[in-house]
Structure 1
Amino acid sequence: MKVTVKKTSELTVPELLMITKERIRVFVVEQDCPYQEIDDQDDQALHVMLTVNGEFAAYTRIVEHADHVHMSFGRVLVIKRFREQHLGYQVVAATIAEIKARYPERDVKIAAQNYLKAFYESFGFKAVSDVYLEDNIPHIDMELRLSEPTSDEM
């Protein structure tokens, strides 16, 4: 397993196409959710890519949160053939580690799909909102304070 982190401007054309295809496949097609998948946040994003034996397997996107105080990440996906191998946990752990390394003074705030609340709590995230609909999918805002140890550091 290998983790690669690149700014959008550092991505090769094949990498950008691969990321775009998989994000659309998961978030638009699989989740039956038509929306603007590629957005302005991609201009300044960091892309966390996990490969297994050279194959693209999992992904997240790190961006500055809309409040300009927190960092955020999203677009968390695991390619279908790699699911059930705990790669979601590994790519999120790598993403949090990257945020800690690059932005140690900033906490992390995410809009999590509500069914993944316990998953994110396992990293130390805490719910900071009620459940709400985003693109007709129940979400909840969650925050990770980097000044507090995560569960894997205890």
Structure 2
Amino acid sequence: MPAYIVDVRRLEQFSAIELYDMLKMRVDVFVVEQECAYPELDGNDLECLHLRLMNGPELLACARLWRPQADANPRIGRVAVSPGHRGKRLGEALMREAIVECEKAYPDESIELSAQAHLQRFYASFGFKPISGEYVEDNIPHVDMLRNAR
């Protein structure tokens, strides 16, 4: 696995170049690679903490952490690893760091995510359990998953 540093910030703390790199990775992965036409810029990024794994100036992976509503569980979403760095266990590192940061920001709360259905086993390895049946979102089968507070 490449060396990385963890960077967690709010959207307004990014430079234009840093923001461009993160949004480009998300579009490259979700819209282009997965051929999923959906509103990537959904208006929620302003409310999120953005987690990035960095190697110097190079963005390796990213995710966003947020609470969609005051009475909802915090969520991990937009989980993406740079295509050039897959197979190097960065997905696991990204999820471990995302859980740590969620627990810091939202102590003693369960964490939710909407998993692509084929990744259920991956997320289960971090303690997430399905809480919904399979459904299609943006033409991709998904399942909602929950990790109980520790």
Under a length normalisation based on structure 1, what TM-score does the superposition of the two structures give?
0.91
SS at match of 1:133: strand
| Residue of structure 2 equivalent to 1:59 | 62
**Runs of 5+ unmatched residues, structure 1:** 148-154
- Counterpart CA distance in 2 for 1:116 and 1:65 is 22
2:112 to 109, 123, 136: 109
| Residue of structure 2 equivalent to 1:124 | 127
Deviations 1:89-137 (A, max 9, x none): 0011100000111111321111100010000000000100101100110
Are the counterparts in 2 of residues 69 and 106 from structure 1 also a CA contact under 8 Å?
no
| Residue of structure 2 equivalent to 1:94 | 97
1:135 and 2:138 are equivalent in the alignment: yes
1:72 and 2:106 are equivalent in the alignment: no
Moved more, 63-72 or 122-131: 63-72
Are the counterparts in 2 of residues 51 and 58 from structure 1 also a CA contact under 8 Å?
yes
Q: How do 1:20-59 residues align onto structure 2 when only pairs under 5 Å count?
A: 20-59=23-62
SS at match of 1:61: strand
Cα drift, residue 53 of structure 1: 4.5
Q: What CA RMSD, in Å, does the superposition of the two structures yield over aligned residues?
A: 1.2
- Counterpart CA distance in 2 for 1:122 and 1:65 is 24
**Runs of 5+ unmatched residues, structure 2:** none
Instruction: Rate the CA distance shift 1:14–1:53 in 2: closer, same or farther, 3 A.
Output: closer
Could you tell me the percent identity over the aligned residues? Answer: 37
1:84 to 87, 108, 115: 87
- Counterpart CA distance in 2 for 1:66 and 1:117 is 24
Moved more, 20-29 or 45-54: 45-54
Are the counterparts in 2 of residues 7 and 45 from structure 1 also a CA contact under 8 Å?
yes
Instruction: Rate the CA distance shift 1:102–1:67 in 2: closer, same or farther, 3 A.
Output: closer
Under a length normalisation based on structure 2, what TM-score does the superposition of the two structures give?
0.93
Aligned length: 147
